[in-house]
Amino acid sequence: MRILIVGGGAVAEELLERLDLREHEVFVVERDPSRRKVLTLKYDVYVIDRDATDVTLYTSDVKMDEIDAVIALTGRNEINLFVLAIAKMYNIPFRIAKVTDSRLAELLQRLGLGVPICQPSIVASMIANFLLSIKEPRFMGRVGEYKLYLITLAETDIATDQKLPDLNLPEDVRVILVFDGSNIYYPSDELVLRSGYQLLILSKTPNIIKYFKG
């Protein structure tokens, strides 16, 4: 994919860490010279020193008709919406913007500009999930005959500091995803479960709390 990222701050850098830059051609628009230097030295990307609100950026510096995804990550909501509006004009299929206001996120969706990632809402939702699933499993829904649960491990839980094989789980209890506060991934048998980890579990067994919390 050819990806245009507008804003080269911390979120952009985290994103670049997660992308396979051998498979993607990435352009980053950033005015701050210190950030440009960091991105140029650390990543195989094209760094462009331009103002994101200058329309000539999209007509001369970047071949918008060749871009597959636009991601707006500046620190200003209005600039991020402007970038997505430009991307929509060029019919770029994947458009994502970081926003800091849930009302703005709703407006962005109503206008069909793209996908809003609202940081305050995401952080608050994550904290709420921690609080609601730390004492007992939180029922999330059904998948066929299985129920889907979310569990947050506490320091005193029997599963904390253990590997999955050590828990002797029934065959119908499966940990399908782990969130460690930074990343979501499928657990291996060698993974040591730590306090604060969130586990997404599929189970037919109704009482799973005893296997994880004791």
Per DSSP (E only), the strands in the chain are: 2-6, 25-29, 46-48, 69-72, 94-99, 115-118, 138-143, 146-152, 173-179, 184-185, 198-203
Q: Nearest 5°: phi and psi at 29?
A: -100, 120
**CATH 3.30.70.1450 residue ranges for the chain:** 132-212
Q: Nearest 5°: phi and psi at 95?
A: -135, 125
CATH classification of 132-212, choosing from 3.10.350.10, 3.40.50.410, 3.90.950.10, 3.30.70.1450?
A: 3.30.70.1450
Cβ-based neighbour number of residue 141 at 10 Å? 8
**CATH 3.40.50.720 residue ranges for the chain:** 2-122
pLDDT (tens digit per residue) in 64-75: 999 999 999 999
pTM: 0.78
CATH C-level class of 2-122: alpha beta
pLDDT of residue 205: 84
Q: Looking at the predicted structure, is the pLDDT value of residue 119 above 90?
A: no
161 is written with which tokens? 């500091």
Q: Looking at the predicted structure, is the pLDDT value of residue 63 above 90?
A: yes
pLDDT of residue 206: 82
Report whether 160 contacts 154 (CB < 8 A).
yes
pLDDT (tens digit per residue) in 126-157: 888 888 899 889 999 999 899 999 999 999 99
